[in-house]
Amino acid sequence: MHHYFVYDVFTETRFGGNQLAIFPKAESIPEGELQGIAAEFNFSEVTFVYPPETPGHTARVRIFTPTMEIPFAGHPTIGTAKALADLGHGPDMVLELGIGALPCTAGPQGARFTTSAPLERLATPDPALVARALGLSPDQIDQSNHAPTLASVGLPFTLTALKTRADLVACQPDLAAFRDGAKAHPQGLDFAQFAYVREGDTCHARMFAPLDNIPEDPATGSACAALAAFLCDLEGAPLSLTVHQGEDMGRPSLIRLTTDGTSVTVAGQALRIMEGSVL
């Protein structure tokens, strides 16, 4: 049997935030079963934890969505760090991910990690296509600060500012448009869409990745990290943001971000809510 924990991540309240299954001792799980286990949970991600490859590091972590292995994601990193702290590691630790080693800190107060992965601006998708993917009209997109931009600090997302909170609520993803976007921008993998409304240091956001079997994600730390890096680069100044996500799907999440232009720190709480075993 393979033991796992389930954590709610980026929330201080049970049954909020983003669900994550963590297998803290994954060495005994056959390689061919990893993707199947992730698909069986059907959470946005599942993590499998192995001994580190580099002495002095805490663990090697592999991250799977329902359809693929990915090199980096935010809520799996936060949730796994918190789970390892609950198991006696830390508070300071280094996790080995597909994008390299990430320093993390975790304890009763929650967890945080810092990534120095460079910002990549991969494309500027047609705003009409992005609007269609979000189920909106092009005039609901706010291009006063930037056009929709496919960007990454380890995992790609199209970052799109909307004009009002009501526009964000109105999003209704169009699967055909996502397929068109993925075909036009294969570097964006599944053409995942991160739409947001910003008011000073506060953002409200939603993320959709239906081609990855994620109709909507309650909390997306990797997209938030990309947004912070992108806005910092755009504005040429250090940045602190608080992102509210998941509210429109009944799983409120809170993600805190800081960046100085060379690295991004992502922080939030995570709660263990259940555990079990896969036979």
Buried-state track 85-110, b at ≥16 Cβ within 10 A, e below 16:
bbeebbeebebbbebebbbbbbeeeb
CB 47 within 8 A of CB 61: yes
Report which residue type is found at 250: G
Would you give the DSSP letter of residue 134?
H
Among 31, 45, 96, 235, the one annotated catalytic: 45
Identify the sign of the CA torsion 25, 103, 155, 256: positive
What is the rounded end-to-end Cα distance, in angstroms, of the chain?
A: 5
Task: Determine the Cα–Cα distance for residues 60 and 267; give it in Å rounded to an integer.
Answer: 20
CB–CB of 62/34 below 8 Å? yes
Quick check: is 45 catalytic?
yes
Alpha-carbon distances, residue 232 vs 94, 126, 240 (angstroms)? 25, 23, 9
> Rounded distance, CA 237 to CA 147, Å?
19
Going by C-alpha positions, the residue among 97, 87, 6, 81 that lies closest to residue 266 is 81
Answer whether the bond into residue 156 is a cis peptide, omega within 30°: no
Q: Are 96 and 61 in contact (CB under 8 A)?
A: yes
Query: How far apart, in whole angstroms, are the C-alpha atoms of residue 258 and residue 114?
Result: 9
Catalytic annotation, residues: 45
